[in-house]
Amino acid sequence: MAEQIEGEIVFECENVDLPDLHFATIHSWIHQVVASYNKQCGDICYIFCNDEKILEVNRQYLDHDYFTDIITFDYTEADTVSGDLFISLDTISSNAKKYRTDYTEELLRVMIHGVLHLCGFKDKSKEESITMRQQEDLALLIYNSF
């Protein structure tokens, strides 16, 4: 049997400060969530940025002219989950206020949302969005168990 080599999970910033998170816990959490779908972690890069940067990425790569909380570039091959996840901390903050939730909880939800996309979950239809939200909730329960 071939040895499985896990990739890296890295956290970068562009035009913002690194959020105040416990990155060792997040690393373990992501690995556990990915494994729960019978997949393994490849290279996952979180790029925390501001609204201006996410709008630039949205325009340049997706031809969208609007702000969003996350843009996921999926490089998954077979059962090895990999990708780049751009997250706007400005939009996370706005959404936390809008949805009356804690900033860190909103950030964690969006972080795992991107990973769920890498695991194959979609959110284009109403049914897919409901399933995605359920999977986010389950993943947050896992995080809270650490």
Kindly indicate the confidence band of residue 66, based on its pLDDT and cuts at 50, 70 and 90. Answer: confident
CATH code for the part of the protein at 9-144: 3.40.390.30
**What is the C-alpha to C-alpha distance for residues 61 and 71, in angstroms, rounded to an integer?**
10
pLDDT at 8: 93
Average pLDDT over residues 76-84: 97
Kindly indicate the confidence band of residue 70, based on its pLDDT and cuts at 50, 70 and 90. Answer: very high
Is the pLDDT assigned to residue 105 strictly greater than 70? yes
Is the pLDDT assigned to residue 4 strictly greater than 70? no
**What number of CA atoms fall less than 13 Å from residue 33's CA on the CB side?**
32
pLDDT at 3: 45
Kindly indicate the confidence band of residue 22, based on its pLDDT and cuts at 50, 70 and 90. Answer: very high
Q: For residues 124 and 85, is the Cβ–Cβ distance under 8 A?
A: no
Average pLDDT over residues 25-53: 97
Q: Is the pTM of this model over 0.85?
A: yes
Kindly indicate the confidence band of residue 1, based on its pLDDT and cuts at 50, 70 and 90. Answer: very low
Average pLDDT over residues 40-45: 97
DSSP the chain: -PPP----EEEEEESSPPP---HHHHHHHHHHHHHHTT-EEEEEEEEEE-HHHHHHHIIIII---S--SEEEEE--BTTEEEEEEEEEHHHHHHHHHHTT--HHHHHHHHHHHHHHHHTT---SSHHHHHHHHHHHHHHHHHHHT-
**What is the C-alpha to C-alpha distance for residues 143 and 106, in angstroms, rounded to an integer?**
13
Kindly indicate the confidence band of residue 11, based on its pLDDT and cuts at 50, 70 and 90. Answer: very high
pLDDT at 5: 55
Q: What is the pLDDT of residues 23-35, one digit of tens each?
A: 999 999 999 999 9
